[in-house]
Amino acid sequence: MSNKEIDDRFKKFGTVSFTSQSKINDFIDYLEQGKVTGTKCKDCGLKFFPPRADCFNCLSSNIEWFDVSGAGKLLSFSKLQFGPIGFENDLPYIIALLDFSDYKVFGRISDKISEDDLQVGMDMKVVTNELPNGQLNYVFEKA
Amino acid sequence: MGNVGIIGVGQSAFVRGYPGSIKEMAFEGFQEAMQDANLSSEDIEASIVCSAPEYDKQRSPAGVISEYLGLIPQPTCYLETLCSSSSMGVRMGYSLIKSGLHDVVAVLGFQKMSEISSAESQERMGRGADIQWESPFGTMMPAYYAMYARAHMDKYGTTPEDLANIRVKASSYGQINEKAVYQKAVTMDKLSDPESKMAGPVASPLRVGDCCPNADGTSCIIMVSEEKAKALSRKPIWVMGVGAASTAVNLPGRDLFTGLTVAQNAASEAYKMAGISSKNIDVAEVHDCFTIAEIMAYEDLGFAEPGKGPELIRNKETYKDGQIPVNIDGGLLSKGHPIGATGGSQIRTIVQQLRGEAGGMQVKDPQIGLVHNIGGVGLYGNVTILGR
Ligand SMILES: [Zn+2]
């Protein structure tokens, strides 16, 4: 990529993306490869999800990527009957939070799973997902 | 350095669709506070104007508002922490006075939520979270609080009926607050009738009746130094503690989902400053933007042990004659929640309670009152303790 081109890969994230430029735009390339990734500070070892380009703990910008893998515990969830502008076609949908013990992941429950099948504390995994409008995100499925 | 006191409080009626400009609306709260303080505009040495900018058409509102209120050429500035903006304003006013820089400061909170169209508002609502990581999933404010409600229900067995009890209490006092936007009764029957609009789902497990109404309105607090109060021969309500805290915007940056750490941290700072504990609080205003928020507030402030908040409302201990009366002005749920004006309105209520001027809402002889005001989904927290 030449210096003159704008790296706006982040505009592909989510039903509606409000950000296009970020130092961690590689996150989008990993999503395209079917991987959900966080970052880890190479200097102090702190893990970040969502990924960050910079470590607030030791002020280093020396980071590496790690794959979000295995099962996380469902901490909570909510099914939305109303959404913001741009999300009308997704409704209703369920947002949720998973706990992987040294980091947590916020996202959506796969629309293949109904709310009645969800229980706080259950094991779930994170999978990449292509939305009907061609955008990318990730969703939670039963582990 | 001496103490800091409040000698004037005011608010406009909280309404749907204020039929005037933000300056005129600001004047209503200012007028009441200034008449209460018995001061004129030239007595105000500095002003702090507070609102949440996503609803404002006017860029840099502090300038036009302070001009309209006659507060020029004194310094003014704009301050924002979402829904807790005007409580943060009072904290900043406290520090301006405590530092000796000024002796009289006006804190003006306002929000004309109807200033923008509902489509614009719905678009902005979608950007209330971290726009990079959470907004692209289609998050909304009620859904975040709903996740706290779900976690509280799962851990402590809290029920939708416990939440409904909060709304019923709010409406019982909203009906006697002439400045409330929602003055109608909300009964348990209505909340549990699946055909009723109040029971309609918003973001599970929260329903329409669990959410506070939008409103337009202003609040104003006039703060003075102890020396100035003496010079004016006034007996202020004293600011005993001004705690504040923040936390991660993104939920993955948080560890607690059954309470708000910002409230706990702000409360502990405020109690320490005031040299008191939760047991000393006689009357409180808490940020009940959603019913679950009031239950968490009981616990975060120490009125109840973690998980025991629902018992307080089941036993009606937070009603006017209970052990710790909470939101005896209808709270955000009935009074309405004009974002930037809310904190100042809560402080006004407590000042009136401590002066014995709360009319039909008056709690019996309170000495110390507390205001809990939260910005965003537990993102910013302010706890203010006031005393006679
Ligand atoms: Zn580091």
The Cα B386–Cα B70 span in angstroms is: 28
A120–B140 C-beta distance less than 8 A: no
Q: Would residue B80 count as lying in a domain?
A: yes
CB < 8 Å to B201, chain A = 79, 81
Nearest-CB residue to B138 (from A19, A83, A96):
A83
User: Which positions in chain A touch B131 (Cβ < 8 Å)?
Assistant: 18-19
**Interface touch A97/B135, C-beta < 8 Å:** no
Tell whether omega for the bond before A50 is within 30 degrees of 0, i.e. cis. yes
For B64-94, what is each residue's pLDDT tens digit?
999 999 999 999 999 999 999 999 999 999 9
Which tens digit of pLDDT belongs to each residue from B18-68? 999 999 999 999 999 999 999 999 999 999 999 999 899 999 999 999 999
Q: Residue B131 and residue A19: Cβ atoms within 8 Å? A: yes
* Given the residues B102, B152, B287, B337, the one annotated as active site: B337
Distances (CA, A) of B94 to B221, B239, B345: 11, 8, 17
| Region label for A108, one of left (φ > 0), alpha (ψ between -120 and 50) or beta (otherwise) | beta
Asked if B337 is an active-site residue, the reply is yes
| Least confident among A44-58, B124-138, B297-311, B327-341 | B124-138
Compute the distance from residue A54 Cα to the ligand 1 centre, in Å. 8
Residues of chain A with Cβ-Cβ distance to B118 below 8 Å are none
Whether residue B100 lies inside any domain: the answer is: yes
ipTM: 0.96
From the list B122, B204, B250, which residue is nearest A78 (CB)? Answer: B204
Question: 């599970």: which residue's tokens?
Answer: B204
With beta carbons less than 8 A apart as the criterion, state whether A106 and B137 touch: yes
Distance of CA B292 to the CA centre of its chain: 15
Q: For residue B257, report the distance from its CA to the centre of ligand 1, in Å.
A: 26
Contact A77 B150 (CB under 8 A): yes
Residues on chain A bordering chain B, Cβ-to-Cβ distance under 8 angstroms: 10, 13-19, 22, 49-50, 75-87, 90, 93, 95-97, 103-108, 115, 120-121, 137
Per DSSP bridges, beta strands A37-41 and A63-67 are antiparallel
Phi, psi torsion values for A104, nearest 5 degrees: -125, 155
Report CA-CA distances (Å) from A113 to A79, A82, A140, A142, B142.
12, 19, 9, 8, 22
Q: Which domain holds residue B63?
A: 4-117+214-232
Residues above pLDDT 90, as percent of chain B: 96
Task: Select the residue from B118, B121, B137, B258 to test the A interface by mutation, using most A Cβ atoms within 10 A.
Answer: B137
Residue A101, Cβ density class (10 Å: 0-12 exposed, 13-18 middle, ≥19 buried): exposed
| Residue B218 within a domain | yes
pLDDT of residue B1: 64
pLDDT-based confidence at residue B324 (cuts at 50, 70, 90): very high
B43 assigned to some structural domain? yes
pLDDT, tens digit (0-9, with 9 covering 90-100), for B195-239: 999 999 999 999 999 999 999 999 999 999 999 999 999 999 999
Residues less than 5 Å from ion ligand 1, measured at CB: A 41, 43-44, 55, 57-58, 60
- The catalytically annotated residue of B50, B83, B211, B220 is B83
pLDDT at site B140: 93
Examine residue B338 and state whether it is found in any structural domain, yes or no: no
CA distance A4 to chain B (A): 24
CATH number of residue B15's parent domain: 3.40.47.10
Tell me which residues of chain A have a pLDDT lower than 70: 1-3
Question: Cβ atoms within 10 A of the Cβ of B196, count?
Answer: 16
Q: Is residue B356 part of a domain?
A: no
The pLDDT, as a whole number, for residue A128 is 98
Domain membership of residue B147 (yes or no) is no
B196 lies in some domain: no
Phi and psi at residue A126, in whole multiples of 5°?
A: -105, 125
Domain count, chain B: 1
